[in-house]
Chain A
Amino acid sequence: MDVIIDFANKIFKPLIDLGAPPMMFIILAFLAMLMRVKPSKAIEGGLKLAIALTGMGAIIGILTGSFAPALQDFVKSTGIQLSITDVGWAPLATITWGSPFTLYFLLLLVILNIVMLIFKKTNTLDVDIFNVWHLAIVGLIVLYYSNNNLLLATLLVLLIGVMKFINADLMKPTFNDMLKMPSTNPTTTTHMNFMLNPLIMVFDKIIDKFFPFIDKYDFDATTLNKKIGFWGSKFAIGVYLGAFVGLLGQQSVKEIFTLAFTGGMCLELFSVIGTWFIGAVEPLSKGITDFMSKRLKGRTFNIGIDWPFVAARAEMWAVANILAPIMLIIALVLPGNKILPLGGIIAIGLTPALLIVTRGRVLRMVIIGTFMLPVFLWSGTIIAPFVTKTAKSVGAFPKGISDSVLITHSTLEGPVEKFLAVTVGRLGSEFNIQNLFLVIVFLAIYILLFAWYVKQMKKRNEEYKNAVQNKSSEKQVV
């Protein structure tokens, strides 16, 4: 492995010295051409990534430039230690795609998918290339904490990768049920969101056993969403939170308005720049998908896409709206949390998994979600130094901002996996009995919990199958 890295370093050193945006422009365009994408499309993609990285840097600069001082004053006047700026998911996705290792993890997962399909270990063809970043960031965290131990990062990414494909198969009948898809519809997803299902299911089973009566008090999600209207949209949330920080940070009235409007503007612009960067990965996604589907011709399988096909269910939005203020309160009192929720306060990294496990029971989603939020806040807090340093190294962080300023995403999908990555990474940098023991215990619990979840999901899928059979036999009787 070291030989390969040395060799790669010699070849890529001049490229790396250019800095991330030019380097990724060249690599991404080259890789897309290798996947037989037209050169003009490949160059278009590479350029879009470069401008997205540059653009994210500019907006992060504006946001931290105005929020970081106000957050310092906020800490002083309230005594609450919330100094990390929550930029939401789009900057983190861009930063992760700004690392060449992400392309390595992408290649690894494409091969894993093909191998698992050939050996019939999964029935899902993943065409959601963009979301590879969720697993790539886990690999990058291992690299960061282990002084670049690529073997450990590779093994962890492969392990979680295998579990994600299995999970995509397991959830398929629930997706059919929740979204009224005919069984011929191939839609499923391998999204990292749903790796929280096992933990959520533990809480769901506890409610089943001890508090089943709460389902009686369930309410209609669509009515709530209709009432909230635009008040829950991105820019509105940016405005409230800007004002909130300004008020508690005892800023002047003028400054409070500035913070409010800056917050709203930055959240909107993160999304706009996010769309450039989707355009950047698009040619590569198309190339890889064509390559995979050509090689798997004649086989029928489910197709893994990004999670928002479940966004058609109103429950996940109602719960995201309810959890937002709950998260703000938890963030203020939770020991060990340093994030003031902003860009990630609408927890779309959590509510889709709640929806699928509880099958849309709103009250359960809110209760379990409340228990999950601390896990996200802690995970977001511990990865903040890594996120900030990586943002700097890929050129998506403005110069001249104080070293103490940290950024993160408060509701980043896969919080448990982030802890796992840090634990595995630490073992890589310091191999001793204690660290080894921690990794073994953590992995054992993680895998056993998943195995239990697999069993529960198989039971659920059996029930779905029986329900279909009963229906068809009823028809015959008639």
Chain B
Amino acid sequence: MIKILTACGAGINSSHQIKTAIEEEMRNRGYDVAVDAVVIKDITEEMLKEYDIFAPIAKPDFGFEINIPIVEAGPILYRIPSMSEPVFDEMEQIIKSINK
């Protein structure tokens, strides 16, 4: 099981769109993933350690190093398949390299 973290302003709208889209697409591609969606403000260094991939809308500056692979998931929100495709491809590559 690959654990992915996504985030947005309230942990309600954008992040849940990303969560739903990633879970659906990665399961279709045959990967076992679980995505959590939280308020970006509430992310701590300890919290990130629990995850394999971080998928924010755009890369944030937390004031600490992010030590897991980052996939910028913003294009998923455009709701246009040809634009979200590269995000899913990048994610698939990383999942393969993690090899869990």
Question: Is the pair A311, B79 in contact by a Cβ cutoff of 8 Å?
Answer: no
Instruction: Tell me whether A311 and B63 are in contact (CB under 8 A).
Output: no
B13's partner among A229, A306, A314, A317 (CB-CB below 8 A) is A306
Q: Are B77 and A89 in contact (CB under 8 A)?
A: no
Nearest B-chain residue to A88, judged by Cβ: B10
Beta-carbon contact of A229 and B44 below 8 Å: yes
B9 and chain A: residue at smallest CB distance: A308
Q: Are B78 and A306 in contact (CB under 8 A)?
A: no
Give every chain B residue within 8 A of A259 (Cβ-Cβ). Answer: none
The number of chain A residues touching the other chain, given as a range, is 35 or more
Say how far A220's CB is from chain B's closest CB, in angstroms.
Answer: 8
In the complex, A293→B61 CA distance in Å? 33
A274-B10, A278-B12 given; A127·B78 CB < 8 A: yes
How distant is the Cα of A314 from the Cα of B15 in the complex, in angstroms?
A: 17
The reply to whether B44 and A234 form a contact with Cβ atoms under 8 Å apart is: no
Cross-chain contact of A311 among B8, B12, B37 (Cβ < 8 A):
B8
Across the interface, do A314 and B60 meet the contact criterion of CB distance under 8 Å? Answer: yes
A477 beta carbon closer than 8 Å to chain B = no
B60 A312 Cβ-Cβ under 8 A: yes
Determine whether the beta carbon of B57 is less than 8 Å from that of A311: yes
Determine which residue in A131, A232, A278, A308 has the highest number of CB atoms from chain B within 10 A of its CB, and name it: A308
Contact among A222, A274, A308 with B63 in the assembled complex (CB-CB below 8 Å): A222
* Cβ contact within 8 Å between B12 and A275: yes
Contacts of B79 in A (CB 8 A): 127, 285-286, 289-290, 293
- B17:A309 contact, CB within 8 angstroms: no
Name the distance in Å between A193's Cβ and chain B's nearest Cβ: 10
Instruction: Give chain B residues whose Cβ lies under 8 Å from the Cβ of A317.
Output: 40-41
Task: Select which of B9, B17, B58 is within 8 A of A307 by beta carbon.
Answer: B9
Given A225-B41, A233-B39, A279-B20, CB of A312 within 8 Å of CB of B10: no
Chain A nearest CB from B63 CB (Å) reads 3
B57-100 contacts to A (CB < 8 Å)? 57-64, 74, 77-80
CB of A187 within 8 A of chain B? yes
Please give me the residue from chain A that is nearest to B80 by CB atom: A293
- A186 close to chain B: CB less than 8 A: yes
Whether A308 lies near B10 (C-beta < 8 A) is yes
A311-B41 Cα distance, complex, nearest whole Å: 8
A234 to B42, CA, bound (A): 9
> Which residues of chain B come closer than 8 Å to A282, judged between CB atoms?
17, 20
A233-B77 contact in complex given A225-B62, A226-B62, A308-B13, C-beta closer than 8 Å: no
| Docked CA distance A312–B79 (Å) | 20
Contact partner of A223 (CB less than 8 A), chosen from B9, B37, B63, is B63
> Does A59 touch B at the CB level, under 8 Å?
no
For the complex, what is the distance from the CA of A187 to the CA of B75, rounded to whole Å?
8
Q: Are A312 and B57 in contact (CB under 8 A)?
A: yes
Residue A305 CB within 8 A of the other chain: yes
CB <8 Å contact, A90 and B62: no
**Pairwise interchain contact A308-B14, C-beta atoms closer than 8 A:** yes
Q: In the bound complex, do residue A312 and residue B13 qualify as a contact, i.e. CB atoms below 8 Å apart?
A: no
Closest residue on chain A to residue B59 by CB atoms: A312
Are A225 and B57 in contact (CB-based, < 8 A)? no
Nearest chain A residue, comparing its CB with the CB of B42: A233
A271, B63: Cα distance in complex, Å: 26
* 4 tightest Cβ-Cβ pairs between the two chains A and B: A222-B63, A308-B9, A308-B8, A312-B60
* 7 further interface pairs, Cβ-Cβ under 8 Å (given A127-B79, A222-B62, A289-B80): A90-B12, A222-B63, A225-B63, A233-B41, A285-B79, A308-B57, A309-B77
What are 11 A-B pairs with beta-carbon distances under 8 A? Answer: A130-B13, A230-B42, A307-B9, A308-B8, A308-B14, A309-B74, A311-B41, A311-B57, A312-B56, A314-B62, A352-B9
